[in-house]
A and B are shown apart, each in its own frame.
Chain A
Amino acid sequence: AQKVTQAQTEISVVEKEDVTLDCVYETRDTTYYLFWYKQPPSGELVFLIRRNSFDEQNEISGRYSWNFQKSTSSFNFTITASQVVDSAVYFCALTLATGNQFYFGTGTSLTVIP
């Protein structure tokens, strides 16, 4: 069975601080895909990144970076120099090679205080 765990329920940081959101996943499949989504107060799911299980290269996009480590089954997300607009709920998700259902974590609510 597949499972995604986001142990941090809520995080508060002061603007300009760096923050890391943790994601740990479980699957016995060797081919899988990991995602991060942002859910602002308006409710939509905003796609941030997709990573496949064969690509452990870390990725940086502006103030966002992702650290994928298969050895620890983790796919952590770091926001550098956080801004108030980063305040949202962030979900980590997993899907298998079949591409069928997504397995979502419970989300981390990030509040950036000005």
Chain B
Amino acid sequence: EPEVTQTPSHQVTQMGQEVILRCVPISNHLYFYWYRQILGQKVEFLVSFYNNEISEKSEIFDDQFSVERPDGSNFTLKIRSTKLEDSAMYFCASRSGLAGGKGDNEQFFGPGTRLTVL
């Protein structure tokens, strides 16, 4: 069964460094998302991406964050200058978006990347 994959599973970085989190959504899905979960807290929406542009973003998604779909398969989240409070689990998700498709409103989540900022 197709699944969303994310790399790396765990990333450790120094404060102020740039990190890129990578995701491979399910093939043929049209909508892509990033979510963040600070340890012990709920999963929070960061950004949604469709047709090569951001369709919606939350207050958390400030200028330090950017997303990109550099090729036909990857979807990346870049944090330009990491802060201690960026330490969290980051989940990528994708959605079919094909009208009438099975589960077209369901977002399929990847296993997450645990980011630790020291």
Contacts and interface: CB of A to CB of B under 8 A. Distances in A.
Given A33-B105, A43-B111, A50-B103, A101 B56 contact: yes
Interface residues of B, number: 27
Interface residues of A, number: 22
A87 interface: no
B75 interface: no
A10 to B, nearest CB: 11
A35 B93 CA distance: 14
Contacts of B105: 33, 50, 52, 95, 97, 99
Interface string B78-100: 00000000000101010101000
A43 B112 contact: yes
B42 A104 contact: yes
Contacts of A100: 31, 48, 55-56
Interface string A63-84: 0000000000000000000000
B51 interface: no
B51 to A, nearest CB: 13
Contact of B42 (A33, A35, A99, A107): A107
Interface in A90-114: 91, 93, 95, 97, 99-107
